[in-house]
Chains A and B, each alone.
Chain A
Amino acid sequence: TPIQNDLTEYYSLV
């Protein structure tokens, strides 16, 4: 089953 990725994998905090 696919796992849910985290948005912070794609975008960085500023």
Chain B
Amino acid sequence: MLEARLSQTLLLKKVVDALKEIIAQGTLDCSDNGLELQSMDNSHVSLVALSLASDCFEKFHCDRNVSLGLDLKSLGKVLKCANSDDAVTIKAVDRPEKITLSFESDGKERTADYELKLLNLDQDHMEIPKKDYTCYIQLPSSEFARICRDMSMFDESLTIACSSKGIRFSAKGDLGTANIQLNAGTAMDVSIEVQEPVTQSFAGRYLNTFTKATPLADRVKLYLSEERPLLVEYPIEDYGHIRYYLAPKVNE
């Protein structure tokens, strides 16, 4: 059985907000090590992977691996019933048909329990090879969100060009063109490591969806290589991450 307690529901709210616009449903795999979820969006253009280590939780007990098929909209609705600073305990039995979420206010003046039905989902797990990327950028997550938002006014397609000179985001559409260049520096705290320059185009609406994870982390990491999907990683303190993978657009 699984029993996992977080001292604040806020983290779970942020995680579900970061997932629910890219995937409607997903299977949360629970083990002694913690929680993991991996799922592609319906169009098979992007993939999201969540990892939360057991030590993220105030209490974590999982004596047998259990998979929870979750409808994320429904989970989001349940989480709306809780205050951000309520403690939350997630419970599931072995081979569960439902999970229980219990919320406790500070001092346990108010407790609320919700049962959520689980789904039987087909699990397509992708094998992602662990190769090094040729470009690695770290920047404030709010800046990345701003760039994605501003660029999407111009075109659906956003080009990222990374070289030793810096990283350049550009879009060209009916309105005109937009170019944003970021250079490595300490004021905004941008770091850029480039082994080989990369230029790739991506669908802006997916990047904008990834930025729903902005409240989870102050910094975001971008990993690029020619002919490979982009990896956008939001660390969750020292406990894990949300990673988004996005297939590039290619010229015919």
Enumerate chain A interface residues (CB-CB to B < 8 A): 1-14
Residues A3 and B252 in contact, CB atoms below 8 Å apart: yes
Would you call B175 an interface residue if the criterion is a C-beta within 8 Å of the partner chain's C-beta atoms?
Answer: no
Residues A12 and B250 in contact, CB atoms below 8 Å apart: no
Residues A7 and B245 in contact, CB atoms below 8 Å apart: yes
Would you call B228 an interface residue if the criterion is a C-beta within 8 Å of the partner chain's C-beta atoms?
Answer: yes
> Which B residues lie within 8 Å of A5 (CB)?
45, 247-250
A9-B247, A10-B228, A10-B247 are known contacts. Are A4 and B125 too (CB-CB below 8 A)? no
- The number of chain B residues touching the other chain, given as a range, is 20 to 34
Q: With contacts A2-B249, A7-B40, A7-B247 known, what are 15 further pairs, Cβ within 8 A? A: A1-B157, A2-B252, A3-B252, A4-B247, A5-B248, A5-B249, A5-B250, A6-B45, A7-B47, A9-B247, A11-B128, A11-B229, A12-B127, A14-B125, A14-B126
- How distant is the Cα of A1 from the Cα of B157 in the complex, in angstroms? 10
3 closest Cβ pairs, A-B complex? A2-B249, A5-B247, A11-B126
Write the nearest CB–CB distance from B123 to chain A, whole angstroms.
10
Write the nearest CB–CB distance from B155 to chain A, whole angstroms.
10
> Which B residues lie within 8 Å of A8 (CB)?
44, 126
Would you call B251 an interface residue if the criterion is a C-beta within 8 Å of the partner chain's C-beta atoms?
Answer: yes
Write the nearest CB–CB distance from A10 to chain B, whole angstroms.
5
> Which A residues lie within 8 Å of B157 (CB)?
1-2
> Which A residues lie within 8 Å of B228 (CB)?
10
Residues A7 and B126 in contact, CB atoms below 8 Å apart: yes
Would you call B190 an interface residue if the criterion is a C-beta within 8 Å of the partner chain's C-beta atoms?
Answer: no
Would you call B27 an interface residue if the criterion is a C-beta within 8 Å of the partner chain's C-beta atoms?
Answer: no
Would you call B124 an interface residue if the criterion is a C-beta within 8 Å of the partner chain's C-beta atoms?
Answer: yes
Residues B251 and A2 in contact, CB atoms below 8 Å apart: yes
Residues B249 and A3 in contact, CB atoms below 8 Å apart: yes
User: Which chain A residue has the least Cβ–Cβ distance from B47?
Assistant: A7
Write the nearest CB–CB distance from B201 to chain A, whole angstroms.
5
